[in-house]
Amino acid sequence: MGMFQSEGFRLICINTHLDFEPTVQVESAHLILRYLSLFPSEVPAILVGDFNAEPESEVYHVFSGGVQEGRSGEENTFENALAPAYPGTYHGFTGVPDGRHIDWIMYRGNLDIISADVISNPIGGIFPSDHFPLQSDFRGGAATKREP
């Protein structure tokens, strides 16, 4: 996790890889949010990683609307850059997604989302990972909500 600045625009970037166990995922989410609370709340943030959990999971709820230890929850609300129906991101080196959307790009704050995609094409005929990479473009601007 770090805060970066360019041409007067600040952005917090968080990259994570969560455990498979749901209780550990939730504990990890709370740790991330506690650490994030040390940064200025008005600075937009992008949260990415392999969460090993789908959008219906408890850990997803912690990031997308859960209340954090006496806080209103609003400052902890992240949105998924990809829209429902969420595409599968795990494929086990086969190139055929198993339907699970377990890798996320989430964001909050003064950001406009321009695009978000799962990249499912092999590179040189091979898949470098058992997960498809995700890609998203943002622009600093007015906070916007994506319609499902």
Q: b or e along 2-21 (b: 16 or more beta carbons within 10 Å of the residue's beta carbon)?
A: eeeeeeeebbbebebebeee
Could you tell me what percent of the chain has a pLDDT over 70?
Answer: 88
Q: In the chain, what are the helix, strand and coil shares in percent, each to the nearest 5? A: 15, 30, 50
pTM: 0.86
Which CATH architecture describes the domain 2-140? 4-Layer Sandwich (3.60)
Residue 144 has pLDDT above 70, yes or no: no
Q: Where are the domains of the chain?
A: 2-140
Residue 136's nearest CA partner among 97, 84, 81, 91 is 81
Q: Which helix (H) or strand (E) is 140 found in, with range?
A: strand 134-140
**Tens of pLDDT, residues 9-27:** 999 999 999 999 999 999 9
> Which amino acid would we find at residue 85?
A
pLDDT number for residue 142: 52
Question: C-alpha distances in angstroms, 104 versus 17, 67, 72, 142?
Answer: 10, 20, 23, 22
d(Cα 52, Cα 59) in Å, to the nearest integer?
10
Q: Tens digit of pLDDT for each residue in 41-76?
A: 999 999 999 999 999 999 999 999 854 444 444 456
Alpha-carbon distances, residue 103 vs 25, 26, 41, 58, 91 (angstroms): 13, 16, 24, 15, 12
